[in-house]
Amino acid sequence: MALITPSGQTQAKKNPAPHKNYDQITRVKEWDLFFQWEIADQFSQTYDYQVVVNADIQLSGSLKTVLRPDPGFANTWTNKEDKGPAASLAYKGQKTLKGPGLRDMVTTYKGQLGDLGEHHPSAQLSVNLAKGTYTLGGGLTYLHTKIMNDPYFKPEEAWTSLGMGSRDDKQKVTYLSEGVTTLAGSDEFPIIIAPFNGLDPMSFNYVKPDKPLGYLVPWTTVHVQWTLSPGRQGPEPDVIVEIAGYDDWKPEAGANEDEPGNILSVDAYLQGKDGKLSREKAKKFTFELLETSRIIGVCCNHPDAGDPALDMKFVPDSNKQLKVTERDQKAETKEGEFAKAQANITSCDYGGTSRLKVTAEMKDGTKIVGYLKGDKSKTEIPLPKRTGDSKIADAWKKSMGVTGLADNDDSATDPEGNGTPGDGLSLYEKYRGFMENGKHIRLKPKIKHIFIVNQIGERAEDGIKLVRSNTGLEIHDKLKVNREKHEADAEGWVNFNSIGNTTPYLGKKWAVIMQVKSTNPKNPASSQSHGKPGAAKDVFIGAGMNPGLEGYSIKKVGKGRVTTDAYASTVAHEILHCLGVQHHGDSDLRNVWWAKSEDEMGLLVIKEYPKDPGGDAKIAGREIHVFLENSKQELSPNSRALVLPSPMYVAEQNGEHSGLEDCVMRYSCADAYVYPKGSNTRYLLTEPEMPGISLCEGRNPIVVLAPGRLSRPRYGSATAGDCKHQFCANDAHPSGK
């Protein structure tokens, strides 16, 4: 079998580098070969003994076959078929033989493929990728009919071999074209005709001889063309994307949207189907971030202003070996030969999301999209690792035990409170988190949370602890609102960066803003709260309330003393009001005025006025009867136990002082109380009451028999009570169950 080396396009001065089509050519498992011959010639040749041959020949043919890898040779494809229908041939010719003593002998040759019967194509392609050249060889052996004009000779079938020829012109070398794997070319070669055996082309030679070789003359020329197209190709290499720590990675951010957070390192490499690093090389690797989120701020409450920026990006300083474009959403290697590449993704938000796509462009232009190592379905890899449409990292959901919950879930039931589930924050917001005193925190999703801006300072912390211990709420009381830190707005809105995004948002979450402020000029020690679940919340602790030792209540019990922090109890009381917890009742007479007065008989009596009459006869009072708790003897207006006139706080049965004595929501400021309910009888307290430090359950009082105390409760059962089950942390759904 002869060989053809394509010729005619590029002069070779040096050995070329390995060809750029190396990857794709070596993957070809089948080549589709189409080969054409053409001969059209007339000639006359005189031989020994004055034998003259006149010939007229026309031949056109083609060969179409499939070449497959030769197991014995690298980069070689062959086809040696016994039989096949892949050739076509149109062949006709006539030869006249004349000579002394001979009559003219005329032989006619003709044939079409349908007439010829069997044919046997064979071909071989060898590619030299080091030089960028190839050789093609083979031929077609076919059966045709030969008819002579001599009756002595009958028509007969004859086998003829038509070769592809050979070429070895080292001054002409055609190299494989870059980016094109279809091999095509044309050439022409000398051919000899056997004068007596027929017009059949017999063989080709490398070089036409200078003189006739016996009877193997005359010479003519065959014109050939060929096309080799890649048929079935071998599998392309896989592009494997490996992300260090991917399963556990959660996005983090810097101090603002322009500062980088944590980095995710991505490695991409070519892998063969055998699982080993591929020998093929990519021309270029491209890393792309798709549908990157743009959420305001870096978490739910920081910073407090600014346009939303892209939450994940290829920061150029972290990818100096790559070209970063498209607003830092695309990074690619320069063109060259790469078996692997690496990129770094920087997070700029604690709740950011994106999808990573990695593409390897091979030398032939083929683009192969990578997939996450171990999961071929992940060609657009979710960042962070998450399930479905969720924007929350799977790692966080798993660690918190909330894998099956939706991003907008707010179903926490701990603590129970008034039965309203959740705290008004979506699961996503708890995941994205908040800044508290400059430190980022992600919230526990199974617990209800509240926020406090404590502008009072350390003295209020014990009161916050009382709320925490009695409710079980997760309290974040270190929020700062100053020039450097804006972790809540002026009204206490803490999730202000959640609104206006595509992320789950249930409504405004309000922090309790606490400060020292007197709201009652007549009583600067009084405290007050404004707000309720679903609204802004303020707690004002009176400036007149002593934060020092006088802010504690001390009570003798036997030979000992009990000390209670009245300041802390007051702080807790007002915070709980902001969470919807009510007083035990609202029937106390509250602040009244006791004074001496004469009745209609002119007798000196004690009268109770709604306020200091100040000599105003229009302010009516009523006569009351005052007793000490441990005595049945009514006190006279001139009793040393009384200082009249005097402001008094009078409690009523089932009012603010009623219920569990130790409940932080029960008032403990009464000077006297009404008993029985609605009567004119008043009992004067002879010892101060201790402020509560717990939350009651149920409405019935617990009777405490202190020395000198009557064996009955002072204020009766609470009208409301059950404070343990009144509080609500949910600002988005404050109405209850």
Which residue ranges make up each domain of the chain? 3-230, 238-385, 427-578, 584-720
Give the pLDDT mean for 311-339: 97
Q: Dihedrals φ, ψ of 327, to 5°?
A: 55, 40
Structure-token pair, residue 43:
């000639």
Q: What is the CATH number of domain 238-385?
A: 2.60.40
Q: What is the mean pLDDT of the chain?
A: 82
Confidence check: pLDDT of 342 > 60: yes
Confidence check: pLDDT of 361 > 90: yes
Residue 345 pLDDT: 98
Residue 372 pLDDT: 98
How is residue 494 annotated by DSSP?
A: -
Beta carbons within 10 angstroms of residue 435's beta carbon = 26
If pLDDT is split at 50, 70 and 90, which confidence band does 200 have? very low
Confidence check: pLDDT of 182 > 60: yes
| Closest-CA residue to 37 (of 175, 137, 186) | 186
In a 3-state reduction of DSSP, which class is residue 300? coil
Which of 3-7, 116-120, 135-139 has the weakest average pLDDT?
3-7
If pLDDT is split at 50, 70 and 90, which confidence band does 737 have? very low
In a 3-state reduction of DSSP, which class is residue 712? coil
What is the Cα–Cα distance from 405 to 401, expressed in whole angstroms? 9
What is the Cα–Cα distance from 73 to 78, expressed in whole angstroms? 10
Which of 41-50, 52-61, 400-409, 431-440 has the weakest average pLDDT?
41-50
How far is CA 310 from each of CA 286, 425, 720, rounded to the nearest angstrom? Answer: 19, 24, 52
Which residues make beta-bridge pairs with 694?
663
- Scan for tokens 């070969």, then name that residue: 33
Residue 502 pLDDT: 85
What secondary structure, in 3-state letters, does 669-682 show?
A: CCCEEECCCCCCEE
How much of the chain, in percent, has pLDDT values that exceed 90? 51
Structure-token pair, residue 75:
């980069």
Residue 703 pLDDT: 46
Residue 334 pLDDT: 96
pLDDT: which is higher, 38 or 252 = 252
Would you say 221 and 205 are in contact if contact means Cβ atoms under 8 Å apart?
Answer: no
Q: Burial-class residue 511 by CB neighbours within 10 Å (0-12, 13-18, 19+).
A: buried
If pLDDT is split at 50, 70 and 90, which confidence band does 147 have? very low
Q: What is the pLDDT of residues 234-268, one digit of tens each?
A: 788 999 999 999 999 999 999 998 899 999 999 99
Confidence check: pLDDT of 304 > 50: yes
Would you say 236 and 27 are in contact if contact means Cβ atoms under 8 Å apart?
Answer: yes
Residue 701 pLDDT: 54
Tell me how far apart the terminal alpha carbons of the chain are, to the nearest angstrom.
91
Confidence check: pLDDT of 143 > 60: no
Would you say 480 and 487 are in contact if contact means Cβ atoms under 8 Å apart?
Answer: yes
If pLDDT is split at 50, 70 and 90, which confidence band does 542 have? very high
Q: What is the pLDDT of residues 459-502, one digit of tens each?
A: 999 999 999 999 999 999 999 987 677 899 999 999 999 988 88
| Closest-CA residue to 682 (of 638, 645, 650) | 650
What is the Cα–Cα distance from 518 to 135, expressed in whole angstroms? 101
Residue 483 pLDDT: 67
If pLDDT is split at 50, 70 and 90, which confidence band does 118 have? low
Give the pLDDT mean for 333-353: 97
